[in-house]
Amino acid sequence: MSQSVQIKNALISVYYKDNLEPIIHELNRLGVNIYSTGGTETFIRDLGVDVIAVEDLTSYPSILGGRVKTLHPKVFGGILSRRGLDSDAQQLEQYAIPEIDLVIVDLYPFEETVNSGAGQEDIIEKIDIGGISLIRAAAKNFKDVVIVASKNDYRILEDILKSQDGATTIDQRRTFAQKAFNISSNYDTHIFQYFDQTEPMPVFKQSIQTSQTLRYGENPHQKGTFYGNLDAMFTKLNGKELSYNNLVDVDAAVALIDEFTEPTFAILKHTNACGIASRLHTKEAWIDALACDPVSAFGGVLIANAEICEATALEIDKIFYEVLIAPAYTDDALKVLTAKKNRIVLIRNRVELPNKQFKTLLNGVIEQDKDLVVEGPGQMKSVTDKLATTEELKDLYFANKVVKHTKSNTIVFAKNSQLMASGVGQTSRVDSLKQAIIKAESFGFDLKGAVMASDAFFPFPDCVEIAADAGITAVLQPGGSIKDQDSINMCNQKGIAMVTTGVRHFKH
């Protein structure tokens, strides 16, 4: 196997020319013959460096509006020839094909064009044919050829050219090839996803180019990695790196807070809200959110949907928390919040989030649409003799948003746009209800006049009876049980209102 290979001939044809100039000058210094096409060829000539047009090598012009430029045996033969094979060397000599030792090629911006909202014709023209073929050919023949398929690697190549005088090692070429196949597979995945408009045969394909190694997974003995661009999602102002568990809670926090438009503060622990309130001002929202369960709030993830001022920051600073997220902070607030170096403070940037969710399970993957529905007063159907008041409907809407983002089985109590208590993740809905009542009472909440929301229907009337005896005056549930009437009858007997929504919000 060839180890060190000296670059004698290079093919360069790129869409992005950022930081390419130093490489051109270095190749010129080393006496490397450069072949190129189109705009890249012009770019090289304008630098005062000699360049050979690919058309002169192939004796064929660029045709079909530029769709065919490099697809020719004199190009691919020079890339794919096996240097140690006499028969390959003889054919190169026979057909006057130069060995190409370096290929610098990138791809048309297909994904960016799709995301820009461009029309189909523009998108189709961004499906690269020659570039992807050159990348695969050079990467396949990494034993003898260097492939650089991204402008992100130009600096690395420049350093190699300078420090090794145009020679490359097998390990360097293998690493470049690995990166190249990552780029080509990611590119093909996005093209497939664009064409995957119908579902004759569902296929699971995902490709994310950026990643971040986490300190560990859920527990210290588990490895953890985040695939994605956290820097696009958040601007970190203070604190250590986000952990695996932080990220799981932050994801839940973002999903919950996005349900609210009025100033709202939420506190989450293990993906469940242990406090949330909507108020006219963020400070009041924080105080009332914390009042729900100040014990569970310790070490939690805090999130607001409005700017945090100094007065709010001073209140927040009274407790220990892991992560704080908001769209903005005043300068005075940041002085308070960044005084403790380990507490993570994030600005949330507006980034479009995916509408699909997936996770590994058994020997495969399950995927689903995100639950993007939440039913307001307009979708609440009254099913009892007593009708819910306007204020109760407002609180039921608030409670229904919280229910949607709370582990099943769940029961949520709310009043005046404030979470009073919730029972979460129980195997019995009655247990969730009893847990919620105990928590509300332990923190001094009077449930008289509060509302209750459930993530699924009541198969028996016991939950309604217990809730009514605790002071609940209105109940929301999706409905759909063959025994719905039993719960409705219990509401009528207790003199409380019930509405159904027709939508279930299980969260496993």
Active site residues: 140, 270
DSSP string covering 474-490: EEEE----TTHHHHHHH
Residue that the structure tokens 């958040």 belong to: 234
CB 430 within 8 A of CB 462: yes
Burial class (CB in 10 A: 0-12, 13-18, 19+), 488: buried
Q: What whole-number distance in Å separates Cα of residue 457 and Cα of residue 482?
A: 10
Nearest to 210 by CA among 280, 284, 293, 150: 150
Torsion sign across C-alpha atoms 389, 390, 393, 394 = negative
Tokens of 473: 């005056």
State whether residue 508 is helix, strand or coil.
coil
Q: What whole-number distance in Å separates Cα of residue 487 and Cα of residue 492?
A: 9
Nearest to 43 by CA among 68, 70, 64, 13: 13
- Which residues have C-beta within 8 Å of that of residue 46, sequence separation ≥ 6? none
Q: How far is CA 488 from CA 17, 84, 330, 460, 461, in A?
A: 69, 84, 50, 10, 8
Q: What whole-number distance in Å separates Cα of residue 338 and Cα of residue 341?
A: 6
Tokens of 399: 């409670």
Rounded-to-5 percentages of helix, strand, coil across the chain? 40, 20, 40
Q: What whole-number distance in Å separates Cα of residue 36 and Cα of residue 43?
A: 10
